[in-house]
Structure formats: structure tokens, C-alpha cells
Structure 1
Amino acid sequence: MDLTSLLRAQGGVVTTAQAERCGVAPRTLRRWVREGRWNTPYPGIYRDGSHRFGPRARIRAVALWGGESGTVAGPAAAWWYGLLDCAPAIVTLILPRTTSRRPRRGVCVRRRDLEAADRAVHDGIALTARPLTVLEAATAIPDGAAFLDRALQRRWVTFDAVYAAWCRACGATGSAQVRRLLVAAADRAASEAERRLVRLLRDAGIGGWELGYRFGPYELDLAFPAARVAVEFDGWAWHTDVARFRNDRRKGNELVLAGWTLLRVTWHDLETAPGRVLAQIRHALGNGR
């Protein structure tokens, strides 16, 4: 590729090595800088002054400066994926722990060794993979909880994937905050699952149920007391909360020992197979409706 084409493809920024491969010697680049035609936003990165240095060019310049081991992260990565409307003023760049590169103006350098599953290449630059990007952006922007909800609802990522990314990132800066966001998102998902099931039951003409039914020291998500049938929503919060997991299992055991039928319903069940959910409930109720 010639230099003109490369500059057009990369928003006007190139590395010294890229320019050399296009036949432009380093001394020529330095001369262009002295003449004011070009500038150097970061060491080893050159910019043709005739190109606008907008967010896209700026983030690409940071990625090129980071080299093969650098990874753009956080809101900048989210914007590059198209998940955020506005690019951040500061670009987060993750570098391996062994690097000694100093932070530069407009760049937040974080040293951390990423697993292969947490890196991706999108439109020519290395970014954190979408699940990790969503998590880290959610901790960095003002309304991170809403952003995480939107990412899950629009299927930009799955909860399994973001949970796995959080597990790999445990101990990293912000991982405790991410955990809180995940638990809150799971609780909101459970509330929506509850509303969906209630609509299904009403539309099907199935009555006799109660929300938040008390069973000893426990509260059941939805219950048919007369038929001793309990419906519990299997959300994701228990993945990040051991106490919640243990409490749910104790509650389930107590229900079975007391002669109840326990059904567990997931968000996926309600979204993809609502008819099957209704059929299971009808079977458990024993009325065949």
C-alpha cells in the first residue's frame, strides 16, 4: 500500500515502520515535522497535518503507539465498537506488566496481562473484547448501570460472557465495582422476568398465584399455594453471591421436603420457549389447562 492510501485508511496517522515500508525514510518524516507539515502526537507516531485529528484518528494513534502488545480499553474501546455515542477525552491503553512505557497526555496507561479471550481486533486496532469492554466502560461512565443493562438487552454481549470476563479480571482495578453492577443488573433482569411470567399467566387465564409468597423464613418468587407449586427465577446474581446461592438451595430443599413442586425458570426460557414454561406450570398444577 502506498503512503497516501495508508494515511486515508488510518485517518492520517502512521508509525515510523509503516512509513518506511511505504518508501518514506525516518529523516524525511522528521523534516516534514520541522517544516510544520506533519507532527508527532506520540513517540514513533506521525500525523499528516492535512488530515483532521478527530476521535477516530486519535484513538488509532494511541493504539499504534501501544504497539502489538497494547490494547485500547474502556470507553474508547466501547466507542470504537459503536456502543457509545461520544468518544472519551482520555483513551485507556492496557499494556503488559513488563512494559515501562510512560503515560502521555490524553492517554491513561494501565499495566495488566490480558488473556487471549479478552483481546480482539476490530477495524484495524487491538481492543479489549466486547464483554470486558462493556464491563470496564460501565465502571468509567456516569450512568454505567444503564449502559450495562442496554448492552445486555440489545444483545451486544451475553451475561455469561460478561460474567466470565469479570472472573478473569478479578483483582484488577474496578473489579469490585463491576461485581456490584453485575448483581444489580441480575436483580433488574429477574424483575423483568417476573413481569413477563405474570403476563404469560394472565394471557393464558391461569390464576391462583401469588408473588412474593412467604414460606417460613423464605420468600418465593411466585407460588400457587393451593397446589403447592413454587416458581423461582434463576437469574445470574447467585453466580457472584455465594450467600444467595446457598440460601436458594436451602429454600429449594425445604420446599421439596414440605411436599411442594419447585419449578425453575430462566430469562432464556421466557424469551425463547414461553409455551414450554406454561406447559410445565400446567402440568405441575395438574389441571391440564
Structure 2
Amino acid sequence: MSRRAALGGVLSVTSAALHHGWAVRSVPRRPHVTVARGRRIPPTLQRSVHLHRADLTPHQVAAGVTDEPTTLLDCLRQLPRVDALCVADSALRAGVGRSVLDRIAEEARGPGSPQVRWVAARASHLAANPFESALRDIAFDVPGLCVEPQVVIREDGLTVRPDLVDVRLRIVCEADSFEWHGKRSALRADARRYDLLVVRGWVVLRFAWEDVMHDPDFVREVLVAAVALAQQHTEVARRRRSAA
């Protein structure tokens, strides 16, 4: 018998998200299970799961799992912001309608509702995976930086679509995956792309998975410095135009 069934509960939060086919930033070591508020659970069973309590209605549950809207609301309300954004991005990418997310944000009340609305407003189906979502979450906190996922850059015969782009500051952020660069041809193609962007005046930043996931302060510091550098470039260009 599964732990969920033994508890008389339903899979919820990131365990439900995984059941729905959505990607998460971190797979839980113990399943998330929601049980009725008044249900008594033996301590030994409590320690085997991430236990949540809520009085769910029948239409919020299907086959022992919270339905998609309930799962989204739970994730956006209860998870750290970066994890919530990863789930929201993935849900949109998997085909959940934007209207569903908007309705969840509009109806959210109580603790965690500001985060629900914040994440819902910024979620995007264009983020390719939780790695990119987590990098974008860090970028949101950098003053002056406004990145968008998968923006197509067409310039002087070059056409590229980086992971994150701030068009105004001409900053490109790449979530560099070792798996993607497993072949020399992929490494060469990306190296050429980065070089061609740099010589056209773009600031190109490449971030490793380990830093984005485990050292966001480092990533944030680099982004802050990149914004300052880009602003300097913009000011120099403005002065040159004025002098001409």
C-alpha cells in the first residue's frame, strides 16, 4: 500500500506536479500528501511524507491526486518563489491555459497570495526547463535588468535565440548545460554564436547549472555588474552621438 493510501490522503504540491507531467526544480525525497484537517495520522507515517492539511472538495481531486488548478495554487502559495516559478512555467509549457493561471491569481486569498499573483504574472511557456526558470527568477531581483525568455535577435545577418535577453541593455544570459554541449558540434555552434554577439556589442553571460541552483548570490552579483557595464556602454555611445 502506498504511503498516500495509508494516510488516506492525496498526492499534492510538487508530487502532484510531477504526476501531471510538469518539471520541478527539485524532486522531493518524500512525497507531498494532503489529508483532511481533522484526520489523525500516526507520527511514524507523518515522518514518511511532507504532510499538508486541507479540506478538499471532490472536484479538486482525481485518482488520488490534486487536480491541475489546485496543484498550481498549492505550488505557487507554498513553495519558495523560484520553485513556484519553475512549476508555473512548466505547467504553461505542458498546455495548461494562461486563463487557468490568471484565474488562480485573481481568486487567491490569504497567506501566500501575493506570491501567487507575482508568479502568475511572470510565468512563461517560453522557458525551456527549470534551469532557465531559476535563472530568470534571479534576474527579476536585479535592479535595471529586464530579461525575456527566448527572444530572437536578428542583427547584421545574425539570427539567434538566446535563453534570456534584455534588449534595451543588450545583455544575453545563457543557462549552459553540459548535457547540451555533449558533442563538439554543439559546443562549436554555441561558441560561434556567443562570439558573434559579443563583437556586435552584446554582453554575453554564461551560467552553469550548479551556480544557478546552488549559488544564486554569485549569479546575482554577476548580473548586477553586467547591468552596470551595459549602462556604461550605453552612456559612452550616447556621448559619442552627442559629440558627432
Q: Which structure would you say has the larger RCO, counting Cα contacts within 8 Å and 6 or more residues apart? A: 2
Question: Given the two structures, how large is their TM-score scaled by the length of structure 1?
Answer: 0.36
Question: Given the two structures, how large is their TM-score scaled by the length of structure 2?
Answer: 0.42
- More strand by proportion, 1 or 2? 1
